[in-house]
Amino acid sequence: MIALAAVFIALGRWQLSRADYKRALFAEFASGSDATMSLGAAGSKELRRYQHVSAAGEFDDSHQVLLDNMTDGEQAGFRVLTPFLLADGRTVLVDRGWFALGRSRTDWPVLKVAAGPREIRGRIDELPVPGIRISADVSEATPSAWPKLMYFPRLADLELALGRRLYPRIVLLDANQPDGFRRDWTPPGFAPERHIAYAVQWFGMALTLGVLYVIMNLRKQASP
């Protein structure tokens, strides 16, 4: 019982550390909109995660990637990554949002983007990653077919598929920008309060075991 209580305490402390991490992440997300920086003028190392940016260039909707098995609540769907050709010659992937799985895995809405130069606005972010990575990439399309269905690809997988170097992070397109899908951007995972609630549960279980341990030992001492 003591060993099990120690495990519960360790799990509770881990949940508290996760809550601290999530507080910092949510604070970083909130502070990212304090100012808008130009993606063309700033290097990749100068921009922190969730920094709000603007970029001038043009979408390449002939080489789009659909991130498979992306969920919104309990509903499965896809996120749409579209290459954006920056005016300085670089390419950044823009996440245009999420749409729900249709009647089949190829029942998609219209993915085409209006042609021509434009300025976009969004937030810098990392590519989504799985909780446990089983394989580097799963593609359900032939090598020459576009758009491609990919399951948690790495940057190198995307560069190989597109045949070009990419900006090391993606841009989450603002909800008020045209040519997008559902974009309710928030930091990934649970809010800090959820982790605190889990920590309280683990500490409560440890306390319960401690009380039971004391009661059982008192009964042993009181028995003839």
| Residue-wise pLDDT tens digits, 160-171 | 999 999 999 999
What pLDDT is stored for residue 137 in this prediction? 46
Give the list of residues 6+ apart from residue 177 with CB closer than 8 angstroms, or none. Answer: 120, 121, 122
Reading the block at residue 2, the tokens are 């003591």
Helices (H), the chain: 2-31, 155-162, 192-222
pLDDT tens digit string along 4-61? 888 888 888 888 887 877 777 777 777 666 678 888 665 555 688 889 999 999 999 9
Q: How far apart, in whole angstroms, are the C-alpha atoms of residue 211 and residue 216?
A: 9
Which percentage of the chain shows pLDDT scores above 70?
Answer: 85
User: Which of 18, 12, 48 is CA-nearest to residue 33?
Assistant: 48
Looking at residue 188, the DSSP 8-state letter turns out to be S
pTM: 0.75
